[in-house]
């Protein structure tokens, strides 16, 4: 392995170690909230308003080893497939996040996990505010440091200048530093090697693991996706799909 790859691996491990060290209690609390929903056979929502933050909602949706009760909010506005510059412009548009929450018809008593690396953009803040206005419980995954160190006049910020971690019912710190990338290469001005996708995916899968363990202790076996590419995968998944058709929009 080259030194630069080893350095990147070390940085990834350092971030994940720090998340385990400082965020384990918050992850467990989030899992308890998800487990409570699943115990009542209620779906929960995962939304990543922003270009690559959308990957977080896809990480736990229709995913081998993932909870079938997870409903990803995959709004076309900020998906990179609709155009990267368009995505960035939309995530900076005040009011857009409220439209998305309304479109998915989240209601009092629902549970929403909002994942955004930086936790400052207009779509993210509006989604959180709209959800809370509707009586939805909001769990957030974002970088406290990135939000706290972003100037109030940054063009990505919501007009309120609020940070996601300050307005959520439960906040988990992904530890991402300003700029996301972590590796310096001599002779290059810009750093390379982004970190946020690793952190978001780890936290979301950690919540899933804790949730399943909590439910197992209660004698509950939640439906969990099996890879359709594994032997028996289709047969396994087909036992449960009718329970979620019509309840999960993107299924």
State pLDDT tens for residues 205-220. 999 999 999 999 999 9
Write the DSSP symbol of residue 81.
G
Measure the CA–CA gap between 46 and 61, rounded to whole angstroms. 8
Sheet containing 137-142, strands listed edge to edge, beginning at the edge strand earlier in sequence: 70-73, 44-47, 111-115, 137-142, 170-173
Q: Which pLDDT belongs to residue 78? A: 86
Average pLDDT of the residues in 84-107: 94
CB 92 within 8 A of CB 156: yes
- Provide the pLDDT confidence category of residue 162 given band limits of 50, 70 and 90: very high
Percentage of residues of the chain with pLDDT beyond 90 = 83
Measure the CA–CA gap between 142 and 110, rounded to whole angstroms. 20
**Residue partners of 63: CB distance under 8 A and separation at least 6:** 70, 225
Q: What is the pTM of this model?
A: 0.95
Q: What CA–CA distances, in Å, run from 77 to 33, 92, 232?
A: 29, 11, 36
Q: Which pLDDT belongs to residue 179? A: 87
Q: Which pLDDT belongs to residue 99? A: 96
Q: Which pLDDT belongs to residue 50? A: 82
Query: CA gyration radius for the chain?
Result: 18
- pLDDT per residue over 3-60, tens digit each? 999 999 999 999 999 999 999 999 999 999 999 999 999 999 999 998 888 888 889 9
CB 228 within 8 A of CB 43: no
Average pLDDT of the residues in 81-100: 92
CB 170 within 8 A of CB 33: yes
């Amino acid at each position: 392995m080259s030194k630069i790859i080893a350095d990147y691996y070390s940085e990834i491990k350092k971030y994940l170690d720090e998340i385990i060290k400082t965020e384990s209690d918050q992850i467990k609390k989030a899992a308890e909230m998800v487990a409570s929903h699943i115990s009542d056979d209620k779906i929960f929502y995962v939304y990543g308003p922003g270009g690559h933050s959308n990957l977080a909602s896809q990480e736990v949706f229709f995913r081998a080893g993932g909870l079938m009760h997870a409903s990803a909010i995959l709004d076309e506005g900020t998906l990179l497939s609709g155009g990267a510059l368009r995505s960035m412009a939309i995530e900076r548009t005040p009011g857009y996040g409220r439209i998305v929450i309304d479109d998915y018809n989240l209601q009092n008593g629902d549970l929403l996990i909002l994942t955004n690396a930086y936790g400052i953009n207009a779509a993210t803040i509006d989604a959180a505010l709209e959800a809370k206005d509707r009586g939805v419980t909001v769990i957030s995954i974002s970088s406290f440091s990135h939000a706290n160190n972003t100037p109030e006049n940054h063009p990505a910020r919501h007009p309120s200048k609020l940070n996601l971690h300050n307005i959520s019912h439960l906040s988990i710190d992904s530890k991402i530093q300003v700029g996301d990338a972590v590796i310096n290469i001599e002779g290059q001005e810009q750093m390379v090697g982004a970190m946020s996708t690793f952190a978001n995916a780890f936290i979301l899968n950690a919540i899933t693991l804790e949730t399943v363990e909590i439910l197992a202790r209660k004698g509950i076996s939640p439906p969990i996706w099996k890879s359709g590419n594994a032997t028996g995968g289709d047969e396994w998944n087909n036992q449960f799909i009718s329970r979620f058709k019509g309840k999960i929009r993107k299924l």
